[in-house]
Every structure is written in structure tokens, then in C-alpha cells.
Amino acid sequence: MAQPSAKYLGVKSGVADWLREGRWKFGQAIPSEPVLAHRFGVSVGTVRRAVDELVAENILVRQQGRGTFVASHTRDYLFNVFFRIVNKDGQKERSTPRLLSFRRVAADRTTAAALRIAHGAPVYRIRNLIMLRRTAVAFDDIRLPERLFPGLTEYALSQRETTVYGVLQQRYGVNVLWAEELVSAVIAGGSLRTLLDLTRPSAVLKVQRTAYTYRDVPIDFRYRFVSTAHHGYQIFLGRH
Amino acid sequence: MAQPSAKYLGVKSGVADWLREGRWKFGQAIPSEPVLAHRFGVSVGTVRRAVDELVAENILVRQQGRGTFVASHTRDYLFNVFFRIVNKDGQKERSTPRLLSFRRVAADRTTAAALRIAHGAPVYRIRNLIMLRRTAVAFDDIRLPERLFPGLTEYALSQRETTVYGVLQQRYGVNVLWAEELVSAVIAGGSLRTLLDLTRPSAVLKVQRTAYTYRDVPIDFRYRFVSTAHHGYQIFLGRH
DNA sequence: TTCGATTTGTTCGTATGTATT
DNA sequence: TAATACATACGAACAAATCGA
């Protein structure tokens, strides 16, 4: 057992294991640092170091005087991290979704590869319009693997007060941690032009996203088409 | 002066100031932790905390047994962080630049605002083609403030073995730490179509970038137009 | 409102381990 | 081998925020 590895790493993976097992729910407090220290047989400083890293990875949240909590990704957090559409001034605006359709379909080859499931395995397909100031700015075509989210209903999505990711967190305890996107430019075709209210043939962004949870398990594969007539897609490189 | 703020933050900004002033060159070692502790009148642990954060921000690099060094951003690092064009498989390819023009001009309003300089202040304007496998994939229109990079020449840029950012680092000791981009989709017009070898009117990405060095000082404002017929723009959200 | 207990935040000092020169 | 530098770990003390009695 006496690996030549640091104790704080042991504490970190121990706590991470508990989190993955769902030992505490989102927003709940984990044991205090002295308690964890005693439980792992290390000093408080060592626990702090482990918790420091989990906080840096957005897995835990500290609050002085209260405790340390399982990161509950609020609507604000999800909005800040995963919603990148801004207006020409670089400002974000509150968006409201409009659910267009919800179906259970078989995964095509691309979807299956991205979600690492079998070709033909069942996925939910969700089509969504993103409205900013009553105009449609983006169109989403989302695939979620059924195996991870059994029993997801159109009702749950239409009634939501949060993002799709918020629903996955609240109903299934699955947290989206990061995502990879591949952006290209295309000329909007017929149905897309109708959806986005484009009077003339226009260039739009085509964003292909795969989102991941703990252990880099993919949970969301989607296309998003963004009209950039009055908006843009904001990116940060090299942290911030 | 006795702000209710932590000492380690004082050490951190003190060291960051030294770096911005160019007190040490890239790759050089900064004073050891005990020396810094003595100089700032704090304990070694406090210095470590400050250095920890600067390391996390890619500003310093530690090496056990050797010392702590000013991060020297290699071509590989700059390529990985700031070059986001990938092929349809999501793989990056080595790119070669082709310098089209180099001029000294007055900053227009947009450039001046982005670079936080006076309207009309001198800037270098660099036009650049990015070649991947002998085909032009992107066109750059770059503005750098002359005040920060006096005496920059076309020769220095054309002879470079690295990126533009590499030149700024090597010749002026200025490190690009992060950048903000605003991406939109446009239909390529006449001259752009010629440059990018587009036979038909095509949608291309228009990337507007502002890059920053220490203390969030802007040093590069550019437009990049990317042909996404055979390539895409890769983005990561929420760390990686 | 006040007070005390609890919890995280900051700082210090010390000791030991490991990598480099 | 010895000196130097960073890495890890421990323990202690006090500050600041929170919460309930």
C-alpha cells in the first residue's frame, strides 16, 4: 500500500470516490476538515491540500464558517461556463428555451461514437430554440443517452426552470464538468432559415458539442446553430 | 497600507509586478522561496501559496531541486493553447505562416479601444496567411501597439521560426497569457475569397481576438478568417 | 443582541523527503 | 558527497464568517 505517492492524493481520490458513489447530494456539506483528517489519519493541512484541488476542479465549494459542499452547479454557473452566446458588445443576455420536439430514437454512427455507445442504442433527441429578446438566436439538436437518463420525459424538459444540464443534475445526479466543441461556418439551409427567422441566405455558426461528467464519460452530444447577425460566440483561451 | 487582505496576495502581486517589469527573462530562475520569504518578510509557506497561484496561471514553472522559473512559452505551448484550427477528425496539423504585408498605421477606433491606446496611435498591421498542407486555411489581420514593440520589422517576422507571440516573447520579453475571442460567421467577400482559394461564395468563421499579458494589458488585436470547408475551430469549456 | 461553538482562511515554524547540481 | 531547492507533512495559533442558544 505504501505507494511512493503523496498522502493528499489518497485523500483526494478517496473523497472523489465518495462523491462519485453519490454519498452526498449536490449542495450538501461533506464532513469538516478535522473530521476528514481524523478519518484518513492525516493532518488537517493534508486534507486542506486535497480539498483545495477538488475545489479548483469545481467539484467542491468552500464557504468560510459554514463548511465544504458538493458543487451544485447553479443556473448561473452553467450559464457562465457553457453558454457562450453574447451580443455585439460582448455582453450576455438572459435566454429562454423553446422546446420544439422530444423523441426517443436510435443513435446514428456519429452520435454513437461521440457518446461511446453502440450504434443504434437508444438516445433522446431534443430540438430546442434559444430565444434572446423574443428572437430566435440559436437552434439546438441534442442527443442524450437513454441508459444514463432513464425515464426522461418531455414534460420534465418543458417545465424546467433551468438548463438541460440543470435537469440532468437535479433528476439524475449527473454533473456536467467540461465540454469540447468544434465550430464551423455554414450557410443556413431551408428549415434552419425558417427556424432562425433569416430572410436571406446567411452564414451561421455550426457548433458540435460533446459534454462530459466525472471520469470523462460523455453525456451530451449536440449540434447548435447560431445566428451571428446580432450576436457572437465568446471564447477564452489560456484560462481566465 | 494594512489592507484587510492576505499577505500571500501581496507577495503574488509583488512577484507579478517584477515579471511585468521584465526583471527576469523567460526561462530564468526567480529567487528561491526562502530568499523571497525573507525579502517580503513572510514565511516560506506564504511564499509557496503565492507561487502556487502563479504556477496555476502558467506564469511560473517549478522544478524540484532546481528552482522556480519564468514560464517560457514554447512553440508547442503557444500552438496548443492559442491555435484552435483542427481538421475534421479533431486533429491539429502543423501550420506555416505566409507574411502578406507589414505596415505601420494609425489605430482605428475599434483597435484603439481593444488595445486601450489613443485613437490614431501607431500600431503595426500585419497580414498573414495560415497554410495547412499547402492550402490557405485562414487569413490574419493583426494589430500590435508600436509603443510596446518598438522597432518591430518585417524582416523579424518573415524570418521567424515561431509564432508571432513567440517573436514578442523573444524580442520584447512580453508573454501572452490569455485571450478573448468573439466568433461569428460571415460570407466571404471578394478579396477574402481570393486569399482563401474559395471558388464559390462560402461561409467562413470571423474570429476577433484580443490577447493579454500580465495584469491584463492587451497586446494583440486581430481578425482571423477561417475557412471551415475542411477544418473546424476547437474549443474547450469548463477546463481541460 | 450577545455569546460561544463550529468551520474555513491565513500564517507561522519545523521536520523530513526528493531531485538537482 | 555536500549544498541547494522544491515537495510533502505536521502542528499550532489566530482571524473571519456562520449559526444557534
Residues A53 and A85 in one domain: no
Closest partner residue to B179 among A57, A232, A238, by Cβ? A238
Does residue A107 or residue B23 have the better pLDDT?
Answer: A107
Helix, strand, coil share of chain A (percent; to 5): 30, 35, 35
Residues B12 and B98 in one domain: no
| Domain-embedded: residue B119 | yes
Q: Is B200 on the interface with A (CB under 8 A)?
A: no
Which nucleotide is closest to the Cα of A67 by its C1'?
C7
Closest partner residue to B186 among A56, A203, A235, by Cβ? A203
pTM for the model stands at 0.86
The answer on pLDDT for B133 being more than 50 is yes
Residues B105, B68 contacting (CB under 8 angstroms): no
For residue A178, list chain B residues with Cβ-Cβ distance below 8 A. 236-240
8 Å CB contact of A239 and B58: yes
Domain around B42: 4-70
Does residue A213 or residue A239 have the better pLDDT?
Answer: A213
| Domain-embedded: residue B162 | yes
Q: Average pLDDT in the B148-174 region?
A: 90
The answer on pLDDT for B61 being more than 80 is yes
Cell numbers describing residue B202: 462560402
Q: What is the spatial distance, in angstroms and rounded to an integer, between the CA atom of B26 and the C1' atom of C17?
A: 29
The answer on pLDDT for A227 being more than 80 is yes
Residues B53 and B104 in one domain: no
For A140-163, write each residue's pLDDT tens digit. Answer: 999 999 999 999 999 989 888 888
Least confident of A10-24, A121-135, B195-209: A10-24
Q: What is the spatial distance, in angstroms and rounded to an integer, between the CA atom of A96 and the C1' atom of C8?
A: 37
| Domain-embedded: residue B239 | no
Q: Average pLDDT in the B55-73 region?
A: 91
DSSP string, A153-176: -HHHHHT-SS-HHHHHHHHH----
The answer on pLDDT for A36 being more than 70 is yes
8 Å CB contact of A233 and B183: yes
Residues A144 and A109 in one domain: yes
Residues A117 and A179 in one domain: yes
Nucleotides of C under 7 A from a protein CB: 6-14, 17-21
Which is it for the CA torsion B159, B163, B164, B167, positive or negative?
Answer: negative
Q: Is A185 on the interface with B (CB under 8 A)?
A: yes
How distant, in Å, are the alpha carbons of A104, A121, A154, A189 from that of A149?
12, 13, 13, 32
Split into its structural domains, chain A has a count of 2
Which nucleotide is closest to the Cα of B67 by its C1'?
D5
Confidence of residue B2 (pLDDT cuts 50, 70, 90): very low
Residues A34 and A90 in one domain: no
Which residue is nearest nucleotide C11, judged by alpha carbon to C1' distance? B46
| Domain-embedded: residue A240 | no
Residues A115 and A201 in one domain: yes
The answer on pLDDT for B107 being more than 80 is yes
In angstroms, rounded to a whole number, what is the distance separating the alpha carbons of residues B96 and A141?
36
| Domain-embedded: residue B238 | no
Distance from CA of A35 to the nearest CA of B (A): 24
Does residue B14 or residue B160 have the better pLDDT?
Answer: B14
| Domain-embedded: residue B180 | yes
- For residue A233, what is the nearest residue in chain B, using CA coordinates? B183
Starting at the earlier edge strand, list the strands of the sheet with A231-237.
A85-87, A231-237, B178-187, B203-212, B218-227, B135-145, B122-132, B96-106
Secondary structure class of A106 (helix, strand, coil): strand
Beta carbons within 8 Å of B168's beta carbon, 6+ residues apart? B144, B149, B174, B175, B176, B219, B220
Residues B19, B70 contacting (CB under 8 angstroms): yes
Nucleotides of D under 7 A from a protein CB: 4-12, 15-19
Q: What is the spatial distance, in angstroms and rounded to an integer, between the CA atom of B56 and the C1' atom of D5?
A: 19
Percent of chain A with pLDDT over 70: 98
Which nucleotide is closest to the Cα of B64 by its C1'?
D6
Write the CATH number for A52.
1.10.10.10
8 Å CB contact of B237 and A204: no
For residue A181, list chain B residues with Cβ-Cβ distance below 8 A. 234-237
Does residue B215 or residue A36 have the better pLDDT?
Answer: A36
User: What pLDDT does B1 receive?
Assistant: 35
- For residue A176, what is the nearest residue in chain B, using CA coordinates? B238
CA atoms within 13 A on the CB side of B70: 25
Residues A105, A129 contacting (CB under 8 angstroms): no
8 Å CB contact of B82 and A237: yes
Q: What is the mean pLDDT of chain A?
A: 91
Distance from CA of B226 to the nearest CA of A (A): 9
Terminal-residue alpha carbon distance, chain A: 39
Interface test with A, best of B183, B187, B200, B217 (most A CBs within 10 A): B183
Under 8 Å CB pairs connecting chains A and B tally to: 125
Residues A63 and A131 in one domain: no
Residues A149 and A207 in one domain: yes
Residues A207 and A147 in one domain: yes
For A79-107, write each residue's pLDDT tens digit. Answer: 889 999 999 888 999 899 999 999 999 99
User: What pLDDT does B5 receive?
Assistant: 82
The answer on pLDDT for B174 being more than 70 is yes
Q: Average pLDDT in the B51-70 region?
A: 92
Of B25, B43, B70, the last residue of a domain is: B70
The answer on pLDDT for A4 being more than 70 is no
Distance from CA of A178 to the nearest CA of B (A): 5
Confidence of residue A26 (pLDDT cuts 50, 70, 90): confident
The answer on pLDDT for A54 being more than 80 is yes
User: What pLDDT does A1 receive?
Assistant: 34
Q: What is the mean pLDDT of chain B?
A: 92
Write out residues 33-62 of A within 8 Å (CB-CB) of B. 56-58
User: What pLDDT does A240 receive?
Assistant: 62
Q: Average pLDDT in the B68-93 region?
A: 89
Residues A99 and A146 in one domain: yes
Confidence of residue B3 (pLDDT cuts 50, 70, 90): very low
**Quick one: how far is CA A22 from the chain centroid?**
18
Of B21, B37, B70, the last residue of a domain is: B70
The answer on pLDDT for B74 being more than 70 is yes
Residues A61 and A174 in one domain: no
User: What pLDDT does A20 receive?
Assistant: 78
What is the b/e burial string over B214-228, where b = at least 16 CB atoms within 10 angstroms of the residue's CB?
beeebbbbbebbbbb
Closest partner residue to A228 among B56, B184, B231, by Cβ? B184
User: What pLDDT does A162 receive?
Assistant: 83
In angstroms, rounded to a whole number, what is the distance separating the alpha carbons of residues A83 and B126?
32
For A175-220, write each residue's pLDDT tens digit. Answer: 888 999 999 999 998 899 999 999 888 999 999 999 998 778 999 9
For B191-237, write each residue's pLDDT tens digit. Answer: 999 999 998 889 999 999 999 998 789 999 999 999 999 999 999 99
Cell numbers describing residue A151: 425515464
User: What pLDDT does B240 receive?
Assistant: 60
Write the CATH number for B202.
3.40.1410.10
Of B70, B94, B118, the last residue of a domain is: B70
| Domain-embedded: residue B116 | yes
8 Å CB contact of A185 and B177: no
Interface test with A, best of B177, B224, B233, B234 (most A CBs within 10 A): B233
| Domain-embedded: residue B152 | yes
